[in-house]
Structure 1
Amino acid sequence: MTLELQRDEDALTVRARGTELLRYVHRPVMDPFEAPKPYLHPVRTLAGDVVTGYRPHDHRWHKGVQFTASWVSGENFWGGGTYLRGQGYVDLPNLGTMHSLAVSAETDHDRVVVTEDLAWHTAAGEHWIGERRTLTVCDVEADSWILEVTTALTNVHDAELVFGSPGTQGRELAGYSGLFWRGPRAFTGGDVIGPGMGEQGDWLAFVGAHDEVDRSSTLLFLDDPDNPCRWFVRSEPIPAVNPSLAFDKEVPLAPGDTLARRYRIVVADGAWDLARLNRYVEEHPW
């Protein structure tokens, strides 16, 4: 299967069989309250159905698929208010920005690999984290394709950094941080197959039905096999999935050290059942 790559000044687009599978916006223009950072949207199935949401009215900072952090030593790279123990969500002048420094992309017909260097800056402009991010589009089959996301976060600050979440600040079952997918509003009430909120598991699937067309789609999320997470997942009131970096326990990162993670997202046409999901996972090992 031949994949087509289009490079624009601010974004990259990958196509297959005439369908735009994804658009990666690496130089976004957005409100500082949304913690500016790169995002993937729209993401589509091979049938052309969009499986990501963008700036929903309930959380304007949710944009398709993003890798980010809701708490880094008090800084918020997620967007919106910051959850503080005993106070709830508070709007603070602590919203950081991720700057894309360099992006390269390669394709060999059946695989596209995007490599990006990013700098995480605090609201005060301090450079705290250097990131090397890789996005790989591969394994395009009859009704599915894979997006692999790898990241290496290096502490370039002169002090220890601590990754946390609202969960580590005391909000029960709200430990979102890291790779985050926001689904389209039509997916609200969709089916979650796999671990529940706060549970562990190698993979989790979300099945949603589309408006306008008589079709469903399945997203299969595979956790980093070397660093098992606890899952943040909701079907209502919003469709969202996140293999959390720090669901209920903080993750420290010493100066000069690197935190590495890798994930897979399988984007599939149709409503896959448990048997189909298990078979796919077995046939596509890491």
Structure 2
Amino acid sequence: MSLILRESLLGVDVMDGERPVALYRVRDEQATCESPKPAFAPVYTPQGRLLTDYRPWDHLWHSGLYFGWVHANESNLWGGAWYMPESGKYERVETHGIQRHDRFTDLSTTAEGGVRIHHELSWLDADEEIFATEQRHWQIEPISTGYRWHVATRIQPVGGPLTLGATRAAAHYSGLVLRMGPPFANDETPEQEVRARCSEGRIGHDQILGQMARWVACEGAAGGMVAMLDHPGNPRYPTTWFTRGNLLGVAPLATGDLVIPEDDELHLRYGLLTVDDPLDDAAVEAEFDRFAAI
């Protein structure tokens, strides 16, 4: 099977023949308080299982599969309220920024039947001043069990150093995040919630939360599986994780702020697997070894 791209008003559709794989939203109309950002939603398995939740009622700024940064200098590139350690509460802020899509630099197919989506972004603060630029490269390939995703991104500060931070001690969420939605994940009861496991043998999202691992895999109550892979070239590898019953994400800021000097760059790489029939640990580990060698 081979994947194809179709550019649309919202962004780019990824198709497997006539079956949708994902929609990359780069031109969505979003409220400023949601910190507008490019996102994949919906994302499907080959058999059509929905993996993502897009703008759910409890967190409208959760937009499927996306990069979000709680504190980027003085800007909120995550969305919603900020957690204030001084008060111990979430409070409304007027510092929401934007991860603005500027232009696509590569929309093409690969020799393996996959697709590339490369684009340039600008990070804007609340005054719409650029304080960082980014080159983000996605690649999606069909494999015998489902789809293999790679993302590589390069972030450059503009006008001074860039400080990425997170304030809530129990979470420290920031970076690549997947908000999983029904029917893939449902955290209303233990029988319905997503089943998570990691490379270090921990089982359950509450046991993985705040711990380091090379990869985390989540099986949906309605079937299907998604795995997220860290890369040895990333800072603070192996990453700490932020996991909930319906959320899977890396937490590279869990051990403290990350400061990128003005004349430097931050490089990040992650992998994902989206399949219908859950893979065992050995199969996920083999995919990790393959990704780590790139």
Question: Common fold, TM-score beyond 0.5?
Answer: yes
Residues 117 and 132 of structure 1 are in contact (CA less than 8 Å); yes or no, is this contact kept in structure 2? Answer: yes
Greater shift after overlay, 85-94 or 53-62?
Answer: 85-94
Q: Contact 1:22/1:41 (CA < 8 Å) preserved in 2?
A: yes
Would you say the 8 A contact 2:46–2:275 is kept in 1? yes
- Cross-structure match for 2:121: 118
> What are structure 1's unaligned runs of at least 5 residues?
211-215
Deviations 1:216-248 (A, max 9, x none): 01001101221212111112xxx1111123123
1:180 alignment counterpart: 177
Tell me the equivalent position of 1:264: 271
Identify the match of residue 252 of structure 2 among 245, 256, 262: 245
CA–CA distance in 1 between the matches of 2:290 and 2:154?
Answer: 27
Judge conservation of contact 1:96–1:121 (CA < 8 Å) in 2: yes
The CA deviation at 1:160 is 2.1
Distance 1:75 1:230 in 2: 23
Structure 2 unmatched ranges of 5 or more: 188-192, 201-207
Question: Which structure 2 residues correspond to residues 218-229 of structure 1 after superposition, within 5 A?
Answer: 218-227=225-234, 228=237, 229=239
Work out whether 1:82 is the aligned partner of 2:82.
Answer: yes
Q: How many residues align?
A: 272
Q: Give, in whole Å, the separation in 2 of the partners of 1:150 and 1:265.
A: 12
Q: Secondary structure at the match of 1:106?
A: strand
Please list the CA deviations of residues 226-274 of structure 1 after superposition, one character each: whole Å capped at 9, or x if unmatched: 1212111112xxx111112312310001113210100011001023333
Matched residue type, 2:152? T
- Name the Cα RMSD after superposition: 1.6
Q: Distance in 1 between matches of 2:255 and 2:96?
A: 22
Percentage identity across aligned positions? 26
Q: Say whether residues 1:136 and 2:136 are aligned partners.
A: no
Aligned-partner SS, 2:152: strand
What amino acid is the match of 1:219? V
Change (3 A) 1:283 1:126: closer
| Off by >6 Å, runs of 4+ in structure 1 | none
2:195 matches 1:191: yes
Q: Give the structure-2-normalised TM-score.
A: 0.88
Q: Deviations over 1:167-224 (max 9, x none)?
A: xx2x2320100111000044132111116111111111011123xxxxx010011012
Using the TM superposition, give the Cα deviation of residue 280 of structure 1 relative to its aligned residue in structure 2, in angstroms. Answer: 4.1
Give the 3 Å change call, closer, same or farther, for CA 25–117 of structure 1 in structure 2: same
Aligned twin of 1:61: 61
